[in-house]
Amino acid sequence: MPSPSSPLACLATSGVQVAIGPFLVRVRSDLNGVHEYLHHLYGDFQVAAGEGGHFDIAVVSSRGVRRWVRPQANLVVNGERPFLPLPGKLAGAGFEWSLNWCVGNQAPRWVAVHAAVVERGGRALILSAESGAGKSTLCAALALNGWRLFSDEFALIDPDTGRLTPLPRPVSLKNASIEIIRGRGADVVFGPQGVDIEGARFVHMKPPVQSVRRGLEDARPAWVILPRWVTGRPTTLEPLPKAHALLRMTDQSFNYNHLGTKGFACVADLVRQCDCYTLEYSDLDDVLIRLESLASS
């Protein structure tokens, strides 16, 4: 249990402000699970006691009997309750899901596209895929292999500059990915493992410290790739018509049209600047080599 003087001590009272990428996130919780989760996975982030922030996330116990018997975690985001109460053990994950909801739906100053992003040499690689296609595993593997993690959930595009802003956060891994990634780096740190509503094992990987320290360094977009893990498939990188990439990106963004024509133009310009591909693979090591050579060309 952290000392009373640590910033997290205020979690259950006035709350804390965590600087996550460009956002100041206010968090309050009376649940030990959230305390532990933040302590383990957000140790490299700036945390201060305080109110106010871009988003206000409260993960709170239920009143009455459900506070103690099969305890629940209630997620309250700026006064709204976008989720049903969760089992208490999923409180830490509940914090991450709440943050996803905030960034994806609340039309902040950036256009947010649901995608993973990694950076190398000042250039950003955007990975856009459906759930279950292996995007997070690939993203985590890249982040442990010479690429800087920007985010495993959101590409944040600044509509004025066209550049991508990092949003380093714990990477969410499920089922077999957990063992795959655990075996890839001595300094991989995982948070508590859980089982989600659908029965999938999940864990959050602590973001590499460099991704957090360099969390304010943006990058220009260079590649958009739609990856898909397919059993037995050799690494196949094929050009994707940009019009298709554009449709995919707007499809994966819930807030571009809050910014109207400016938001759309932002995504259209990004696609124009990037080389766009589809990627199918089954060998993670081989893909890493292929992408590394893409980055040096």
Partner 1 sequence: MRESLTDDLRWRSAVDLVWTHYEDSEDWVVFHPQSGDVYLVTAAAHTLWSLIADGTAPTLKQLIPALAAALNRAPDDQLAAVTRDTLGFMDRAGLVRPISL
Partner 2 sequence: MPHVNVAPDYEVLARVLRDPTTIDRLSPEAFSRALDAAQRARLLGWLVEQVRAGHVPAAPPEWLRDRLVTVDALTTGYERAVRWEIDRLRRAFLDTGQMWVLLKGAGYIAAGLPPGRGRRVADIDILVPRADLGRVEQILQDNGWEFPELNAYDNRYYREWMHELPPMVHRDRRSVVDVHHGILPRTSRLKPAPDRLLQQAETLGDGVRVLAPAHIVLHAAAHLFHDGEIAGAIRDLVDLDQLLRWFGRDERFWKRLVEETPAMDLARPLYYALRYSHRWFGTPVPDAVTAAMRTWAPPAPVRRLMDVLVDGAMMGTTGHSASASVFALYVRSHWLKMPPFLVVRHLLRKSLQRD
Q: Which residues bind partner 1 (CB under 8 A)?
A: 239, 241-244, 246-247, 250-251, 257, 260-261, 264-265, 268, 271-272
Cβ-based neighbour number of residue 187 at 10 Å: 8
Report the C-alpha gap between 174 and 194 in whole angstroms.
Answer: 10
Task: With beta carbons less than 8 A apart as the criterion, state whether 156 and 99 touch.
Answer: no
Q: Quick one: what does residue 295 bind among partner 2, partner 1, none, with the CB cut-off 5 to 8 Å set by partner type?
A: none
In terms of CB distance, is 43 or 68 closer to partner 2?
A: 68
Short-list 18, 12, 15, CA closest to 38: 18
In terms of CB distance, is 30 or 218 closer to partner 2?
A: 30
Compute the radius of gyration of the chain from its Cα atoms.
19
Residue 265, classed as helix, strand or coil, is: helix
Q: Quick one: what does residue 108 bind among partner 2, partner 1, none, with the CB cut-off 5 to 8 Å set by partner type?
A: partner 2
Task: With beta carbons less than 8 A apart as the criterion, state whether 143 and 208 touch.
Answer: yes
Q: Quick one: what does residue 109 bind among partner 1, partner 2, none, with the CB cut-off 5 to 8 Å set by partner type?
A: partner 2
- The least distance separating partner 2 from the CB of residue 219, rounded to whole angstroms, comes to 21
Q: Quick one: what does residue 79 bind among partner 1, partner 2, none, with the CB cut-off 5 to 8 Å set by partner type?
A: partner 2
Q: Quick one: what does residue 183 bind among partner 2, partner 1, none, with the CB cut-off 5 to 8 Å set by partner type?
A: none
The site for partner 2 (CB under 8 A) is made up of 12-13, 23-24, 28-30, 51-54, 56, 58, 60-61, 63, 74, 76, 78-80, 106-109, 257-260
Could you tell me the maximum CA-CA distance found in the chain, to the nearest angstrom?
Answer: 61
In terms of CB distance, is 159 or 191 closer to partner 2?
A: 159
Structure tokens at 29: 């919780």
Angstrom distances, CA of residue 129 to CA of 18, 69, 114, 250? 28, 39, 9, 13
Short-list 119, 113, 153, CA closest to 246: 113
Report the C-alpha gap between 130 and 228 in whole angstroms.
Answer: 9
In terms of CB distance, is 76 or 133 closer to partner 2?
A: 76
In terms of CB distance, is 5 or 261 closer to partner 1?
A: 261
* Strand ranges (E), 140-185: 148-151, 154-157, 164-165, 171-174
- The least distance separating partner 2 from the CB of residue 186, rounded to whole angstroms, comes to 37
- The least distance separating partner 2 from the CB of residue 283, rounded to whole angstroms, comes to 41
- The least distance separating partner 2 from the CB of residue 239, rounded to whole angstroms, comes to 32
Q: Quick one: what does residue 12 bind among partner 1, partner 2, none, with the CB cut-off 5 to 8 Å set by partner type?
A: partner 2
In terms of CB distance, is 251 or 285 closer to partner 1?
A: 251
Cβ partners under 8 Å of residue 229, min gap 6: 133, 134, 137, 138, 280, 281, 282
Q: Quick one: what does residue 175 bind among partner 1, partner 2, none, with the CB cut-off 5 to 8 Å set by partner type?
A: none
- The least distance separating partner 2 from the CB of residue 14, rounded to whole angstroms, comes to 10
In terms of CB distance, is 45 or 277 closer to partner 1?
A: 277
